[in-house]
Amino acid sequence: MRAVEPRRHKGTDVKLIIATIKPFKLEEVREALTSQGVRGMMVTEIKGFGSQSGHTEIYRGAEYAVNFVPKVKLEIVVPEGLAEQVVATIARTARTDKIGDGKIFVLDVESALRVRTGEINDDAL
């Protein structure tokens, strides 16, 4: 009989949510998340494309394709219980109903650690 160990390590209680949103939505999303109990996030300015295609511009008479559109990437690590709520909040506040609104991904986090105190996993958040 094969023993299938249920994955009940403390680490699986932590999720990483990666979301790309339109830059002007950042403040709105941040405010909505912090009011829901999210205590931290990482923000990066990125360029990207999805179904929102690029366009052409002209610089000194020469045409060039602008393939990438500026976006903001959020990386938020939360306890599992909060994850669904966070995803819904981001989706609700970041939506503009136009293409290029972005995507949200949820990943499992193997472990987490707070540098100052050494607390791990749920306690690190």
Partner 1 sequence: MTNWKTPLRGLAPLACLMAGPAFAQEAAEAAEPAALEAGIAAATDTAFILNTLLFLIGGFLVFWMAAGFAMLEAGLVRSKNVAMQCMKNVALFSLAGIMYYLIGYNLMYPLGNWSIGSDETGGYIGAFGVAVMEAVGIGRDAADDYGYAATSGDFFFQLMFAATTASIVSGTLAERIKLWPFLIFTIVLTGLIYPIQASWKWGGGFLDSQWGFLDFAGSTVVHSVGGWAALAGALVLGARAGKFKDGRVIPMPGSNLALATLGTFILWMGWFGFNGASQLAMGTVGDVADIGRIFANTNAAAAGGAVAALVFTQLLYKKPDITMVLNGALAGLVSITAEPLTPTLGAATLIGAVGGVIVVFAVPMLDRMKIDDVVGAIPVHLFCGIWGTIAVLFTNPDATLAGQIVPIVIVGVFTFVVSLVVWMVLKAVMGIRVGEEAEVTGLDMAELGMEAYPDFTPS
Binding residues for partner 1, per CB under 8 A?
45, 57-64
Nearest to partner 1 of 44, 111 (CB atom): 44
Q: Quick one: three-class SS letters along 17-74?
A: EEEEECHHHHHHHHHHHHCCCCCCCEEEEEEECCCCCCEEEEECCEEEEECCEEEEEE
Distance CA(93)–CA(5), nearest Å, equals 39
Nearest to partner 1 of 63, 97 (CB atom): 63
Least CB distance to partner 1 at residue 61 (A) = 3
Distance CA(82)–CA(40), nearest Å, equals 13
The total number of residues shown for the chain amounts to 125
Least CB distance to partner 1 at residue 56 (A) = 11
Least CB distance to partner 1 at residue 9 (A) = 35
Nearest to partner 1 of 21, 112 (CB atom): 21
Nearest to partner 1 of 74, 87 (CB atom): 74
Least CB distance to partner 1 at residue 60 (A) = 5
